[in-house]
Structure 1
Amino acid sequence: MKRTRSDSARQLADLLRRQILADEPLPCEQDLCAEFATTRNTVREALDLLRADGLITRQPGVGTVVVGHKVPHGLNRLGGLAEILREHGEVTNEVRTAGPVPAPTVVAARLRADEVVYIERLRRLNGTPLSLDLTYLPLDVGLPLLDCDLTGRDIFPLIEETSGQRLGYADIDIEALNADAETAAVLAVPTGSALLRWERLTHFESGRPVDLEYIRLRGDRLTMRARLDRS
């Protein structure tokens, strides 16, 4: 099959993306042509794709410079954002609203509760908006959290401390979507930007569902990472 230049550029962009995410410097265009046995036009088209994703820029007299850094978010264990990203900086929370509300039908079915505590937080990593988290909890689990430090701590450890029970497992769905105008304004990204949407239902070790979250994460700041065993 004869490949187009765009096909080759996309393939090269995927290879270079890994170097960028690993904070490795990019070779100059001439070296890229030699390393990948391709043309300068293909290299430039690949770099254009990476520029469009906000990962690199071109500076006069300097050349191609990496400007977009993504943080790896592991999917191998159940943990809060601050727990998972602690080695990458400080996670802070802006609580936009918190309090008891009647449970929407879908929430009531999944949490087995007619009334819930709803907590909405804008979460930042080193001051940069990272995610918008919408959390629903049964009243007996959620009400004690309203007296806790929701701005400085993850909800998961607070649940375990106030309930005296350990969290066991979570079911999670992840999909890609484009930012609507309201979410884009909150996360400080252009409308239509790529987001990762999580829907996560967390259970106690007993199997009881206790935390239903709808999370929108900036696609330009996070990359999901996991090790998958065939067994």
Structure 2
Amino acid sequence: MTLDAGSNPHHSPNPALQGSQPRYVQLAQTLLNEIESGHYPVGSQLPTEFELCEQFGVSRSTAREAVKRLVQLGLVVRQPRVGTTVRARTATTGYRQSMADVSDLYQYATETTLVIESRATVQIDAEQAQSLEATAGETWLNLHGRRHARTPSGEPAAPICVTELWLHPAFRSIQGIQGALQGAVHAAIEQQFGELITEVEQEIRAVALNKADAEVLGAPAGSPGLWVRRRYRNRMGQLVELATSIHPADRFSYTTVLRREWGVGGKGDAA
């Protein structure tokens, strides 16, 4: 049986869920409708993947993909050993990233599209060298672009950020980094050069969008933004890639889960 999410003439499908309507999109639309109608109020739990499979006669992968789309729309949040909790009644137009380790950055890259708009080798000056932990006069690869979230149908949405990347001179001949990218740049470095990223340092701070960035992002100049800088390091701790992104405040949110190891750091532990 095929789900008909658009059969109600008074409730048209959310634009973020329109497309060729594969099963996971139909299921996501149905769950979205039920969240918006209050069937699943904010703070309540969605059925588990197993329960969704039973209720809708779909595979585990279909149920998982449908819930992932709701996560991307900012409607629900998934937590280990807790389940899927409804966090909003209406979908957002941005991207919500949840990260626990380096591998989650690959997921971020595959769930969004980075459009490279310029590529140049740059002989860095003293100020740039300080940020890049390098020596003035070195020639690094500099990339500029915009990153877009993708709708469940695979189409790019409005840009969620402008991004600048710097790649170490050892990797400046990297191939395939142009136009629309559906994977991580650091993954391409690993694949082409045999390098291994073992650590990512992340710094986040609030900023006001300057006029140039605001124009590219279609946001008001001076409006709140989120500045995110990531330093990708290899096994020797050397900087391989520096990525700086600036997001409008309403198009990106970030969550992380901290777990306590019981017996570590509690009262009575040795100093």
Change (3 A) 1:26 1:111: farther
**Unmatched segments (≥5 aa) in structure 2:** 1-30, 39-73, 75-88, 151-155, 262-271
Given the alignment of the two structures, is residue 66 of structure 1 paired with residue 87 of structure 2, yes or no? no
Q: Please give the alpha-carbon distance, in whole angstroms, between the structure 2 residues aligned to 1:193 and 1:144.
A: 37
Given the alignment of the two structures, is residue 119 of structure 1 paired with residue 143 of structure 2, yes or no? yes
Change (3 A) 1:80 1:112: farther
Aligned pairs for 1:155-174 within 5 A: 155-174=185-204
Conservation of the 8 A alpha-carbon contact between 1:138 and 1:210: yes
1:201 to 231, 238, 261: 231
Given the alignment of the two structures, is residue 138 of structure 1 paired with residue 160 of structure 2, yes or no? no
Conservation of the 8 A alpha-carbon contact between 2:98 and 2:104: no
Match of 2:215 in 1: 185
Identify, as 1 or 2, the structure richer in helix.
Answer: 1
Q: Please give the alpha-carbon distance, in whole angstroms, between the structure 2 residues aligned to 1:185 and 1:82.
A: 28
Match of 1:96 in 2: 117
Q: Please give the alpha-carbon distance, in whole angstroms, between the structure 2 residues aligned to 1:136 and 1:26.
A: 46
**Unmatched segments (≥5 aa) in structure 1:** 1-21, 28-54, 56-64
C-alpha deviations, 1:1-30, integer Å up to 9, x for none? xxxxxxxxxxxxxxxxxxxxx964386xxx
Change (3 A) 1:224 1:103: same
1:148 to 172, 176, 184: 176
Q: What is the TM-score of this pair, normalised by structure 1?
A: 0.64
Q: Please give the alpha-carbon distance, in whole angstroms, between the structure 1 residues aligned to 2:103 and 2:211.
A: 29
Change (3 A) 1:80 1:149: farther
Q: Give the share of equivalent positions with the same residue, in percent.
A: 16
Q: Please give the alpha-carbon distance, in whole angstroms, between the structure 1 residues aligned to 2:205 and 2:255.
A: 15
Amino acid of the structure 2 residue aligned with 1:83: Q
CA deviation after TM superposition for structure 1 residue 221, in Å? 1.6
Conservation of the 8 A alpha-carbon contact between 2:99 and 2:105: no
Q: What is the TM-score of this pair, normalised by structure 2?
A: 0.55
CA deviation after TM superposition for structure 1 residue 79, in Å? 5.1
Q: Please give the alpha-carbon distance, in whole angstroms, between the structure 2 residues aligned to 1:104 and 1:172.
A: 24
CA deviation after TM superposition for structure 1 residue 83, in Å? 2.4
CA deviation after TM superposition for structure 1 residue 210, in Å? 1.0
